[in-house]
């Protein structure tokens, strides 16, 4: 293939924030163009954030996503970025011009029912409005091509067949002197999926948009998969993944590019933003990033997940119990790294069973990290409950934990 400079935008979108996510696209596209890239690729569902879950079934949100896509195409022109191809994920629907249909009763066996109808139709098992997880190619102020995800995962943390209608057609777009094929996330994992068509289509490059959640050692699995699929497709493969936390999920980035032989050309770090610039079609030596240890990988995922859960939900601080034990010490350390010590409020709640050693350890950790710290003696409260209710057995054993929980809740509301 002719040399092509591409940029993979490993970024952190927020679910529902169409304006903020579009602003990220504009910012990263400018950086990519300034670096000489002809093509910049963003993750799956970039404009809407991922996973959108039930938002996908709202007609207003479907319409807003399509409108945001058109507005983004125009904004690229007004920002003097009309001369670079931008591939961005968004929420589409089978017929973008049609309104969403009323909800239809669900039928577990009607797995493919939604694939046949337009957005105005409805059938058993078809998601309302026939939404799709899509990728659009923007250039010159227009949407020049679109692609809808073919394979919808319905295992583990995924429930995509509830929300989306699968696509059926491949998409290849001309960028400079190269033909670029597009796939989305699960399409890469399925044997005989859209990747199998890439070689037949004669594409020079396959780009894959991803919302791939973190799992321990998944980076090794991704690299092997991308290498295998590149060899099957007979062309280089560029894999861009989002990073960030969304509720219980964490996305670790780990974007990468391999050549047609499956040799690694470039790789982005995990758990952080990155704009990976790669000249595809030129000779490269194998590129390896510094890998995290298993412990550092898990810790980074916990810090990122907590940070984004707190900030994306609009919280300003957190409150936690600090017992002096290892478990609460680890939680406090994660919280300080995620949010800054000034935004962490730790409460020691000693009882008659608390040793002086535990009290000292809690105070020492607070001093070392710099978090906000206070002590609330719960022994009088526990004694008052026991004296009033005469609790015994399991109820008595659980009382101390309940008093601590109530104390933390009261402090968090102060």
Q: pLDDT tens digits for 141-155? A: 999 999 999 999 998
Counting every residue, how long is the chain? 414
β-pair partners for 137: 87, 145
Q: What is the DSSP letter of 242?
A: -
Contact residues for 405 (Cβ-Cβ < 8 A; gap 6+): none
Is 50 exceeded by the pLDDT of residue 108?
no
Mean pLDDT within 176-191: 96
149 is catalytic: yes
409 pLDDT band, cuts 50/70/90, is confident
CA-to-CA distance for 52 and 62, rounded, in angstroms? 11
- What 3-state class would DSSP assign to 294? helix
114 pLDDT band, cuts 50/70/90, is very low
Is 70 exceeded by the pLDDT of residue 111?
no
Q: What pLDDT is stored for residue 106 in this prediction? A: 40
* Active-site residue, selected from the candidate residues 28, 44, 160, 186: 44
Angle, helices 393-412/379-389, rounded to nearest 10 degrees:
130
* Active-site residue, selected from the candidate residues 134, 149, 160, 235: 149
- For residue 94, the tally of other CB atoms under 10 A from its CB is 22
Strands (E) located in 116-204: 131-139, 142-148, 172-175, 178-184
CA-to-CA distance for 371 and 384, rounded, in angstroms? 31
* Active-site residue, selected from the candidate residues 185, 226, 235, 336: 185
Which residue would you say has higher pLDDT here, 114 or 203? 203
Mean pLDDT within 230-239: 97
- Tell me if 180 sits within 8 A of 281, measured CB to CB: no
Is 80 exceeded by the pLDDT of residue 104?
no
Q: What is the mean pLDDT of the chain?
A: 90
From the list 291, 274, 233, the residue with the least C-alpha distance to 7 is: 274
From the list 77, 57, 80, 37, the residue with the least C-alpha distance to 127 is: 57
44 is catalytic: yes
Is 80 exceeded by the pLDDT of residue 396?
no
**pTM over 0.85, yes/no:** yes
Contact residues for 308 (Cβ-Cβ < 8 A; gap 6+): 12, 244, 245, 246, 250
Alpha helices, DSSP H only, in 313-392? 326-339, 356-369, 379-389
- Tell me if 90 sits within 8 A of 131, measured CB to CB: no
235 is catalytic: no
CA-to-CA distance for 377 and 153, rounded, in angstroms? 50
Which tokens in the block code for residue 146? 């679109």
From the list 243, 283, 276, the residue with the least C-alpha distance to 259 is: 283
Is 50 exceeded by the pLDDT of residue 116?
no
């Amino acid at each position: 293939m002719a040399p092509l400079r591409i940029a993979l935008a490993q970024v952190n979108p927020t679910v529902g924030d169409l304006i903020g996510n579009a602003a990220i696209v504009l910012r990263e596209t400018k950086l990519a163009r300034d670096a000489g890239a002809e093509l910049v690729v963003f993750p799956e569902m970039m404009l809407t954030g991922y996973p959108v879950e039930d938002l996908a079934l709202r007609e207003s949100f479907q319409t807003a996503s399509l409108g945001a896509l058109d507005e983004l195409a125009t904004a690229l022109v007004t920002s003097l970025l009309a001369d670079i191809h931008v591939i961005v994920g968004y929420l589409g629907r089978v017929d973008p011009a049609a309104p969403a249909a009323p909800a239809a009763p669900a039928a577990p066996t009607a797995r493919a029912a939604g694939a046949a109808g337009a957005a105005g139709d409805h059938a058993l098992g078809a998601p309302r409005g026939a939404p799709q997880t899509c990728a659009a190619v923007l250039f010159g102020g227009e949407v020049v091509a679109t692609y809808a995800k073919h394979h919808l995962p319905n295992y583990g943390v995924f429930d995509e067949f509830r929300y989306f209608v699968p696509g059926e057609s491949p998409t290849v777009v001309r960028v400079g002197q190269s033909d670029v094929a597009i796939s989305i996330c699960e399409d890469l994992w399925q044997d005989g999926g859209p990747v199998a068509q890439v070689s037949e289509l004669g594409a020079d490059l396959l780009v894959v948009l991803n919302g791939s959640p973190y799992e321990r050692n998944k980076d090794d699995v991704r690299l092997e998969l991308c290498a295998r699929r590149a060899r099957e497709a007979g062309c280089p493969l560029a894999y861009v993944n989002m990073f960030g936390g969304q509720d219980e999920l964490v996305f670790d980035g780990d974007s990468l590019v391999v050549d047609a032989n499956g040799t690694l050309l470039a790789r982005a770090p995990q758990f952080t933003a990155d704009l990976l610039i790669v000249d595809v079609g030129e000779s490269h030596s194998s590129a390896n990033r510094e890998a995290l240890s298993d412990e550092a990988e898990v810790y980074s995922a916990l810090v990122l997940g907590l940070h984004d859960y707190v900030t994306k939900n609009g919280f300003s601080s957190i409150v936690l119990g600090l017992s002096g034990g290892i478990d609460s010490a680890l939680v406090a350390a994660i919280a300080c790294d995620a949010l800054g010590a000034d935004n962490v409020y730790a409460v020691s709640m000693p009882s008659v069973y608390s040793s002086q050693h535990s009290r000292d350890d809690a105070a020492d950790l607070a001093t070392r990290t710099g978090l906000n710290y206070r002590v609330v003696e719960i022994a009088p409260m526990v004694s008052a409950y026991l004296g009033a209710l005469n609790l015994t057995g399991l109820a008595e054993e659980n009382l101390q934990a309940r008093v601590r929980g109530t104390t933390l809740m009261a402090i968090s509301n102060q």
